[in-house]
Amino acid sequence: MLHRTRTWSLQAIDEAERLAYKLSNVSWTCCQAFALKGYIFANDATSADGAQEYAILRATRSCPGLIQIESITFSWCTEERALELIKAVCAGDFDGNGFCQVARDRFETVSEHSFCMHCA
């Protein structure tokens, strides 16, 4: 992940299709993250008007934090391609990767995440 101090507002999503739409068709604030089936898709973009790059993270038993397993630029994907990638993530296709560790306390519920410099 590019950002060492950013905190994210974590929203639970219940279906891959819904997340594919959100990530490929909507520009989100840099503090937005989504949770789906044990994976977190955290906006890792450098600015709100840049490419929407998402770090993909998951919890492991061997690590107290979350492990980044992939990075995907969803703003460059069609909705169909985004859905393919999200399904691959949820199937565990990237679980063998481990790029960096991120503290769990950097993810807040929508109600906990009041306002930060990345919020619109």
- Report the pLDDT value the prediction gives residue 120, as an integer from 0 to 100: 57
Q: What DSSP state is assigned to residue 115?
A: -
What end-to-end distance do the CA atoms of the chain give, in Å? 21
- Spatial CA neighbour of 54 closest among 80, 24, 81, 79: 24
pLDDT above 80: residue 5 = no
Residue type present at position 90:
C
Give the pLDDT band of residue 82 (cuts 50, 70, 90): very high
* Bridge partner list, 40: 35, 57
pLDDT above 70: residue 87 = yes
Threshold 0.75, pTM exceeds = yes
- Spatial CA neighbour of 108 closest among 49, 45, 33: 33
As given in the structure block, the two tokens for residue 114 are 């009041």
Where do the domains of the chain lie?
Answer: 8-109
